[in-house]
Structure 1
Amino acid sequence: MTETAQLSIGNTALAVGNPWVFFAVTFAITWFFWLSAIALGVSFTSAAGLVLLLAGLVGPGIAGIGFVYLVYDERGRTDFWDRIKQVRRIGVRWGLVILLVPLAVTIVAAVVDTLLGGPGATWGEGVREFDANPLAILPALFFATLPPLLEELGWRGYALDRLQLTWSALGASLILGVVWSVWHLPLFFIDGTYQHDTVGFGTPGFWLFTIGIVPLSVAFTWVYNHTSRSTLGIILLHGWVNFVSETIEVTDAVYYLQWALLAVLITAIWGAKTLTKAEDVPRPPPARR
């Protein structure tokens, strides 16, 4: 099942199913709205800014659904929606992995930070202010629900399969991780975002955030390929990572280092099989002829 779509773009030899076409469309959708926010000087804390934020966030998901319907036949389209709905693909074992890995990474990072003389783990702002203002937890809940759903319909729901047709799981993870990281770039220039208000462009935190997304992508592929390509599992993992990081704060350098070490560990253990053999990874249904 390694066929690619025969639909091409105009008179070119570029197939619609090429993942780079999906990336181009996704960036065009998202960056149109986010660059508009920059040009207009609006903050994402305003009503207009929130609309532009949400419109940009739907880019990967809308593009993912669109390309599924362009590239795949009825079987492929059904498979796409099944991977979002079917809880049984995850199973108890990988459900525990999804639950425990983000907690373990955070706990280990806190311990290491403490040993290095840092503050260790502290409660996030939403938790600290919850007693006085229960609504303070809403940002953490937002980043744990809506962005993962809107993003993962495209990143893992569509693009990862297309990349793994050509690349090993590790190669596909690294490519997708870099693309996913660059996709966030406009957020560093928009008032009201975590990237702008807390991290800042060109700071050490900027580089930690930008590079740190890549090992996350390796961990996500590891879970994805072991849960029968469950998009639902990745949405849950992405959301849980966001929620844990929003509610339990650890020094960024130590936190992202632990994800990098986990990615190395996954590669070392799993790499002898799936990460280095493209023929071993799960295949999407055939594309349309």
Structure 2
Amino acid sequence: MYLAVAVGGTWAFWLPAIALGVRFDSAVGLVLLLVGLAVPGVAGIVFVYLVYDERGRADFWNRVVNPRRVGLRWLAVILLVPLGVAVLAGVVDLLLGGTGPTWGAGVTQFSVNPLAILPALFFATLPPILEELGWRGYALDRLQLKWSALSASLVLGVVWALWHLPLFFVEGTYQHDSVGFATTSFWLFMAGIVALSLAFTWIYNNTERSILGIVVLHGWVNSTAEFIVVPDPAYYGLWFVLAAAIVAIWGAKTMTAADEVPHPPLPTDT
């Protein structure tokens, strides 16, 4: 039910932008974009309060604000993995005869106008906060109550990818202006989100289900992609390799060294 509310609620704001021909870089379009972005997180909080008792609600907010769940080792993983994927993908592309990595527009314009980097930072950091209170904060826990970490990640990844679909039809978005609908980059983007979902679950399950850690990870993935531009096949290809390695090394059941998937304190727990 949550997944239907999250996707349907967002599309309720984004589909009118398509019908009305509103650009998301206009004032009205920006409002529709931001409200739509907020739906997964707001719905996640609502469902937490509907489903869990006081312990579950306290657990949710602790996962939002408590950095101790992440720890220094996994913080290093969160910071190094997206950067490593971007840099290594650039090297691989260069070795295969491609153009290799280039600096993003925000970086190249920074020396001329330092404020030029602010839009890139804004859209790299705000969506993770608005989204992850729901995707990982609520939905992943519920999915992992019934399915393995791998199955839950695949289900959430497919829904997460489809959630982005209207963005490909609204001018002024990265998906419309830079990727395009039904292009090779489109399919790589959509499949890449599923691969990212597996990586996110791996981090989530190994950081005591830290929502804060996932927000930082999501934002850093966005930031590195904004600052270091790499051709899509090499970039998403490495995320596919990483996802496969995670499953092979840590196992499909939990993606951790533990035998059971971590779960929230349920009302029936004693």
TM-score, length of structure 2 as denominator length:
0.96
Q: 2:90 aligns with which of 110, 120, 129?
A: 110
| In structure 2, C-alpha distance between the alignment counterparts of 1:277 and 1:168, rounded to whole Å | 14
- Asked if 1:45 corresponds to 2:25, the answer is yes
Where does residue 159 of structure 2 map in the other structure? 179
Of 158-167 and 276-285, deviating more is 276-285
| Displacement of 1:135 | 2.2
Cα 1:244–1:126 shift into 2, 3 Å? same
Where does residue 240 of structure 1 map in the other structure? 220
What is the DSSP-based 3-state SS (H/G/I as helix, E as strand, rest coil) of the residue aligned with 1:240?
helix
Map 1:217-228 onto structure 2 (within 5 A). Answer: 217-228=197-208
Cα 1:220–1:109 shift into 2, 3 Å? same
Where does residue 262 of structure 2 map in the other structure? 282
Q: Deviations over 1:9-51 (max 9, x none)?
A: xxxxxxxxxxxx0011111210000001111111011100000
Where does residue 128 of structure 1 map in the other structure? 108
In structure 2, list runs of 5 or more residues that go unmatched: none
Q: Which amino acid aligns with 1:177?
A: G
Of 269-278 and 200-209, deviating more is 269-278
Q: 2:136 aligns with which of 142, 145, 156?
A: 156
Cα 1:276–1:101 shift into 2, 3 Å? closer
| Displacement of 1:276 | 9.6
Q: Which amino acid aligns with 1:74?
A: E
Q: Deviations over 1:106-160 (max 9, x none)?
A: 1110111001101111000000111112222123201221100000000000000
Q: Which amino acid aligns with 1:247?
A: F
| In structure 1, C-alpha distance between the alignment counterparts of 2:57 and 2:88, rounded to whole Å | 40
Q: Deviations over 1:233-267 (max 9, x none)?
A: 00000000000000000001110000000000101
Note the aligned Cα RMSD (angstroms): 1.6
Cα 1:68–1:273 shift into 2, 3 Å? closer
Where does residue 9 of structure 1 map in the other structure? none
| In structure 2, C-alpha distance between the alignment counterparts of 1:288 and 1:63, rounded to whole Å | 23
Cα 1:233–1:276 shift into 2, 3 Å? closer
Contact 1:35 / 1:186 at 8 angstroms: preserved in 2?
yes
Contact 1:168 / 1:277 at 8 angstroms: preserved in 2?
no
Q: 2:38 aligns with which of 17, 37, 58?
A: 58
Where does residue 22 of structure 1 map in the other structure? 2
| Displacement of 1:279 | 5.9
| In structure 2, C-alpha distance between the alignment counterparts of 1:133 and 1:282, rounded to whole Å | 46
| In structure 2, C-alpha distance between the alignment counterparts of 1:33 and 1:175, rounded to whole Å | 23
| In structure 2, C-alpha distance between the alignment counterparts of 1:182 and 1:213, rounded to whole Å | 10
Contact 1:165 / 1:278 at 8 angstroms: preserved in 2?
no
Q: Deviations over 1:161-218 (max 9, x none)?
A: 0000001001111111100000000000001000001111011111110111011000
| Displacement of 1:105 | 0.7
Where does residue 55 of structure 2 map in the other structure? 75
- Asked if 1:33 corresponds to 2:13, the answer is yes
What is the DSSP-based 3-state SS (H/G/I as helix, E as strand, rest coil) of the residue aligned with 2:25?
coil
TM-score, length of structure 1 as denominator length:
0.90
| In structure 2, C-alpha distance between the alignment counterparts of 1:30 and 1:212, rounded to whole Å | 21
| Displacement of 1:278 | 9.8
In structure 1, list runs of 5 or more residues that go unmatched: 1-20
Of 55-64 and 276-285, deviating more is 276-285
Q: Deviations over 1:72-96 (max 9, x none)?
A: 0011001000000000000000000
Q: 2:191 aligns with which of 211, 226, 236?
A: 211
Q: Which amino acid aligns with 1:91?
A: G
Contact 1:122 / 1:249 at 8 angstroms: preserved in 2?
yes
- Asked if 1:261 corresponds to 2:245, the answer is no
Percentage of pairs with the same residue: 68
Where does residue 3 of structure 1 map in the other structure? none
Contact 1:169 / 1:276 at 8 angstroms: preserved in 2?
no
| In structure 2, C-alpha distance between the alignment counterparts of 1:202 and 1:193, rounded to whole Å | 16
